[in-house]
Amino acid sequence: MASQSDHKATIIDGKAIAQTIRSEIADETRHLSQKYGKGCLELLSRSGVSIKGKNAVVVGRSNIVGLPVSLLLLKADATVSIVHSRTPDPERLVREADIVIAAAGQARMVKGSWIKPGAAVIDVGTNAVDDPRKKSGYRLVGDVDFEEASKVAGWITPVPGGVGPMTVAMLLRNTLDGAKRVIEK
C-alpha cells in the first residue's frame, strides 16, 4: 500500500489553459469580426464599387470592425488609413478617401463636408440619440451625418437598414458554410 508521501498531485498548468482560452476567444472574435468586414466588402462589391487601387479610410480601430475591415481592404488592394481618437485632422484623411468605412461609435461624427464627392460610404455605427417625437424617446443614427453626406457621396448606407441586414445575411452565410463543413467531414 502506498503511503501519503508517495502521492504526487497532478500539476494544473494555468498558463497553458489560459493560452488555450485566449486562442479560443481570439478565434471567436475573428469569426465575429469577419461578418462585419466581409459584409462591408460585399456591400461595396454588389454596389459595383471597385476597391483595387482606391484610397480607403476606416474610422475606428476596434477589434470587431475597424481592424478586420482594414485588413480585408488591404487584401483587396486598397490603400488603407485608419482614423481614430488620436488622429490629428481626421477630416483631411476622410476627405481624400474614395471609400469610407465608419465604425467609431460616435453619432454623426463624420460630416458631409468630410466626404469626397462620389465616395462610397459604409456606416457601421448604430447610435441612439434622443428623439421626443418617437414613442421610445430615441432613434438610431449612424457615425456619419446621413443627411449631409448623402448630398456628396456616390454611395451611402443608411442607419438603420444598411449594414444591419447585410450582417444578418453574412451570419446566415457563415452558418450555412459551417454546416457544409460539418457535413463534408
More confident residue, 167 or 96: 96
Q: Is residue 120, in this structure, part of any structural domain at all?
A: yes
Condensed to tens digits (0 to 9), the pLDDT of residues 6-43 reads: 777 766 777 777 788 777 766 665 665 566 678 899 89
Q: Is residue 92, in this structure, part of any structural domain at all?
A: yes
Cβ atoms of residues 45 and 76 within 8 Å: no
Condensed to tens digits (0 to 9), the pLDDT of residues 94-117 reads: 999 999 999 999 999 999 999 999
pLDDT score at 38 = 81
Q: Is residue 90, in this structure, part of any structural domain at all?
A: yes
Q: Is residue 70, in this structure, part of any structural domain at all?
A: yes
Would you say residue 72 has pLDDT above 60? Answer: yes
Cβ atoms of residues 116 and 96 within 8 Å: yes
Q: Is residue 23, in this structure, part of any structural domain at all?
A: no
pLDDT score at 33 = 55
Give me the domain span that covers residue 158: 37-184
CATH number at residue 69: 3.40.50.720
Q: Is residue 178, in this structure, part of any structural domain at all?
A: yes
Number of domains in the chain: 1
Q: Is residue 11, in this structure, part of any structural domain at all?
A: no
Would you say residue 1 has pLDDT above 70? Answer: no
Share the mean pLDDT of the chain: 87
Q: State mean pLDDT over 132-159.
A: 94
SS (H, E, C) the chain: CCCHHHCCCCCCCHHHHHHHHHHHHHHHHHHHHHHHHHHHHHHHHHCCCCCCCCEEEEECCCCCCHHHHHHHHHHCCCEEEEECCCCCCHHHHHHCCCEEEECCCCCCCECHHHCCCCCEEEECCCEEEECCCCCCCEEEECCECHHHHCCCCCEECCCCCCHHHHHHHHHHHHHHHHHHHHHHC
| Model-wide pTM > 0.75 | yes
Would you say residue 177 has pLDDT above 90? Answer: no
Residues whose CB is less than 8 angstroms from the CB of residue 162 and which lie 6 or more positions away in sequence, other chains included? 43, 122, 123, 142, 156
Q: Is residue 7, in this structure, part of any structural domain at all?
A: no
N-term to C-term CA, the chain = 48
